[in-house]
Chains A and B, each alone.
Chain A
Amino acid sequence: MTPLPHLLALAEYPGFAESIAYQATGLVVVFLALGSIWAAMELIGRCFSRRPAPAAALALAPQAVPNGTIDPATVALIAAAVHATVGGPHRIHAITAAAHPVDWAREGRRSHFASHQIR
């Protein structure tokens, strides 16, 4: 890959004007690259957002919900969450309270915050 001719001429100790031009070109290249990705993903995103969202209602209603212990809205919410998480065909057999107290929000935050410390 051959660099652009005018960039080849960048001196070891470039002058002020030359340095400004070099910086401007670099910024344009970065914006061009990320702007192109933006444009591409915007187009692709529109295609995906036009597709009808899979109805959460496709998730089968739970069969073994104890009567009177959980309201239908909560059941629908849990069914939608299960569908969004699991995806594909599935069947909810039972909804019961956790044996031990759990804190999913805290666990999610912990997992997220810890995920990139490696760098």
Chain B
Amino acid sequence: MLASLFDFFTTTGFALVTWKMVVMWGVVGVLLWLAIARGFEPLLLVPIAFGALVANLPTRGVITARMDENGVYQTASFVLEGERLPDHAGTPASPAADRERVRVERVEGGLFDFISQGVKLELFPPLIFLGVGALTDFGPLIAMPRTLLLGAAAQLGLFITFMGAGLLGFTAKQSASIGIIGGADGPTAIFLSNKLAPELMGAIAVAAYSYMALVPLIQPPIMRLLTTEKERKIRMKSLRKVSKAEKLIFALVVMVICILLVPDASALIAMLMLGNFLRECGVTERLVKSAQNEIINVLTLFLGVSVGITMAAESFLAPATLKIIALGVVAFAFSTAGGVLVAKLMNVLSPHNPINPLIGSAGVSAVPMAARVSHNEGQKADPHNYLLMHAMGPNVAGVIGTAVAAGYFLSTLGR
């Protein structure tokens, strides 16, 4: 009987637990604590943490994973079983000499193998952008379109971090994927890293969402360092009212210009603007509600779990993860600084209609947290100064700017 019990023990998961898995359980605990106790992006961090826990348990029939010889950790790769079919007599030769016809009889894969295809095939991030577009009011940006430049300036951190990552030994593709953390846009970071550096996607996603939650801690010191008390007290003119037609035209203009300039960002930009067009046209209320609620919620859940699944100990517990976390702060800091400094430059060039430089930091696209930080910092200098709506302009411009930057990285590195 003892021997039988021992034999049975070898079939359990206990025998397969490694010390690295135990360390990852600790990481999962930290992520859950951040999400639940501290409220750091819980909608993403909770599914990510659970996915990470599943990835670090000796599961069976849940997900297939293997470490390639080149060090790339592959998840959700299917095994197809089928029968090779003979070519029909008389049919023209196939263009590809090695092309075969196979009747698929069984696909081996667990639940997460299928869910993760949404990330691998790059379906989830653009579809989440559909919901983001449906939730976003571009009115403040349309009322003051020059704040688009602040959204562009806040992409500075992406490119600075690209160089920093290169200096730390990352390849160009990996550097671009790490740099995009500075855009403070989780779906875009996942979208880009899945294409350029899938082996780093878990660490990049965790860093991106963690730092997005830390925006109220990271940004204010930089904002105060780069601005004077007088600048922080600048009151801006009230925003004009924006008509429905303008909002509709804006969605089309953004989509056309961005796709013409960076076609690789088409999926993100097109879905973002489709969601926004649905919102603003006023005749698709049911679709808007679905995009704002059911679609984005379901996809956020699947996206988080799919990202968490990539965080197996073999790939996550590496020096690269620590470097990515350090570089993430650099990216956020330079993006914040870029927005503030360009706002100051705009004031020099156009002194008759000054911009409060604090809204420049909102160019990182952590919506609406970065805008709230600008507003709160402004109120510390002048309690009667309301910057929130002014800061929403660069804030939503940052979403577009990050998508464009991702398109640039993809068009230059993604092939």
Residues of chain A in range 83-109 having any CB-CB distance to chain B below 8 Å: 84
Q: Complex: how many Å from CA A7 to CA B176? A: 14
Contact with A along B372-415 (1 / 0, CB 8 A): 10000000000000001000000001001100110011011101
Q: Which residues of B contact A12 (CB under 8 A)?
A: 171-173
Q: Which residues of A contact B163 (CB under 8 A)?
A: 16, 19-20, 23
Q: Complex: how many Å from CA A3 to CA B400? A: 21
The answer to whether A22 touches B257, judged by C-beta atoms less than 8 angstroms apart, is no
The answer to whether A23 touches B162, judged by C-beta atoms less than 8 angstroms apart, is yes
Q: Which residues of B contact A7 (CB under 8 A)?
A: 412
Q: Is B43 an interface residue (CB 8 A)?
A: yes
How far, in Å, is A26 (CB) from chain B's closest CB?
A: 5
Majority secondary structure of chain B interface residues (helix, strand, loop or mixed)? helix
> On chain A, which size bracket covers the interface?
35 or more
The answer to whether A118 touches B297, judged by C-beta atoms less than 8 angstroms apart, is yes
How far, in Å, is A30 (CB) from chain B's closest CB?
A: 5
Q: Is A50 an interface residue (CB 8 A)?
A: no
The answer to whether B135 touches A41, judged by C-beta atoms less than 8 angstroms apart, is no
> On chain B, which size bracket covers the interface?
35 or more
The answer to whether A13 touches B296, judged by C-beta atoms less than 8 angstroms apart, is no
Q: Which residues of A contact B296 (CB under 8 A)?
A: 118
Q: Complex: how many Å from CA A11 to CA B367? A: 35
Q: Is A70 an interface residue (CB 8 A)?
A: no
Q: Is B219 an interface residue (CB 8 A)?
A: no
Q: Is A58 an interface residue (CB 8 A)?
A: no
Q: Is B288 an interface residue (CB 8 A)?
A: no
The answer to whether A44 touches B162, judged by C-beta atoms less than 8 angstroms apart, is no
Q: Is A68 an interface residue (CB 8 A)?
A: no
Given contacts A37-B254, A38-B145, A118-B131, contact A10 B245 (CB under 8 A): no
**A-B pair number, CB within 8 angstroms:** 147
Contact with A along B112-133 (1 / 0, CB 8 A): 0000000000000000100110
Q: Which residues of A contact B320 (CB under 8 A)?
A: none
Residues of chain A in range 19-44 having any CB-CB distance to chain B below 8 Å: 19-20, 22-27, 29-38, 40-42, 44
The answer to whether B412 touches A40, judged by C-beta atoms less than 8 angstroms apart, is no
The answer to whether A30 touches B408, judged by C-beta atoms less than 8 angstroms apart, is yes
Q: Is A45 an interface residue (CB 8 A)?
A: yes
Q: Is B337 an interface residue (CB 8 A)?
A: no
Q: Is B286 an interface residue (CB 8 A)?
A: no
Q: Is A67 an interface residue (CB 8 A)?
A: no
How far, in Å, is B401 (CB) from chain A's closest CB?
A: 5
CB closest chain-A residue, reference B158? A26
Q: Complex: how many Å from CA A10 to CA B171? A: 11
Q: Complex: how many Å from CA A8 to CA B414? A: 10
The answer to whether A3 touches B159, judged by C-beta atoms less than 8 angstroms apart, is no
Contact with B along A33-77 (1 / 0, CB 8 A): 111111011101100110000000000000000000000000000
**Interface of B with A (CB < 8 Å)?**
43-44, 128, 131-132, 135-137, 142-143, 145-146, 148-149, 151-153, 155-156, 158-160, 162-163, 166, 171-173, 185-187, 212, 240-241, 243, 245-246, 249-250, 253-254, 257-258, 261-264, 296-297, 300, 366-368, 372, 388, 397, 400-401, 404-405, 408-409, 411-413, 415
